[in-house]
Structure 1
Amino acid sequence: MKTSTKWVEGMAFDATADTGQTVRIDTTVEGGGLGSGMNPKKMLLGALNGCSGMDVVDILKKMKVPFSKFEIDAEAEQTEEHPKTFTFIKMTYRIDAKPEDLDKVKRAVDLSQEKYCGISAMLAKHCDISYTIELI
């Protein structure tokens, strides 16, 4: 796995994976950026959501649990002093599964958090991660 990151201007960078996809990393205009991309810590939370979400979708498909809407929110608390690192992450999984499938959804989320999601495993070595599931 490899990425290459190039400075654009201000605080903006373009990160390109060895597979060709590019994402913009930036900060707000008030923070000296262009406001043209997500900041690195928010990107990390998004990566956590995406990593776990991919696991959950894959597991639920294998369990034959039907759903058409699925979203994950993550909120993080961080230290006051530099380097400002996450101290706690709260994830909320929202899915439109049937109430009778809730145990399967819980199992899929647990498997993602405890076994499959590498981003979660890396972050959990540094901070606590909690999660809730809501049927929508």
Structure 2
Amino acid sequence: MKTNTIWKGGQAFESTQHNNSKIEMDGNHGFSPKALLLSGLAGCSGIDVVDILEKMRVPFADLQIEAEADQTEEFPRVFKDIHLNFSVVTGEENRDKVIKAIDLSLEKYCGVAAMLKKNSKIAYTLTIQTEAV
């Protein structure tokens, strides 16, 4: 994996990866690098959960992941506690399968979680919604 990050002025940067996908970061007006890391965790786990639920043939209509992190007070300010809330639109009868998918993601498959767990506690909650909001 390789990226190229270019300073655009002020605290703004643009990062490009091998397939020419681009993302902007900005310490003042956009996603900060730490917010991108938190979003990366949610996206990494979300991809796993979707794949696992599809393999289990669990019907679901929506998946949303809210990620929140507490940071240390001292510098460098790093994540210490991370909490994910998975909200899935599916039947209540699928709760155990969704829990299994999340556990497999966070414990086995998600590389971002594996890296972050070396320094931060990652916990989650699950909300099952029976219809889309």
| Corresponding residue for residue 10 of structure 2 | 10
CA drift at 1:9: 1.0
CA distance in 2, matches of 1:106, 1:97: 12
CA distance in 2, matches of 1:74, 1:87: 13
CA distance in 2, matches of 1:135, 1:27: 35
| Corresponding residue for residue 31 of structure 1 | none
1:80 counterpart letter in structure 2 = E
CA drift at 1:84: 0.5
Pick aligned residue for 1:82 from 53, 75, 86: 75
CA drift at 1:69: 1.1
**1:21-60 map, 5 Å:** 21-28=21-28, 35=29, 37-60=30-53
CA distance in 1, matches of 2:94, 2:33: 35
**TM-score relative to the length of structure 1:** 0.93
Pick aligned residue for 2:66 from 73, 81, 84: 73
Give per-residue Cα distances to partners, 1:81-110, cap 9 Å, x unaligned. 111001100110000111011110000000
Q: Do residues 105 (structure 1) and 109 (structure 2) align?
A: no
CA drift at 1:18: 1.2
CA distance in 1, matches of 2:90, 2:20: 34
CA drift at 1:80: 1.0
2:48 counterpart letter in structure 1 = D
1:72 counterpart letter in structure 2 = I
| Corresponding residue for residue 132 of structure 1 | 125
Question: Structure 1 segments of 4 or more deviating over 3 A?
Answer: none
1:27 counterpart letter in structure 2 = G
CA distance in 1, matches of 2:12, 2:76: 20
Gaps of 5+ in 2: none
May I ask how many residue pairs the two structures share in their alignment?
A: 129
Higher relative contact order structure (alpha carbons within 8 Å, sequence separation ≥ 6): 2
Sequence identity (%): 48
1:126 counterpart letter in structure 2 = N
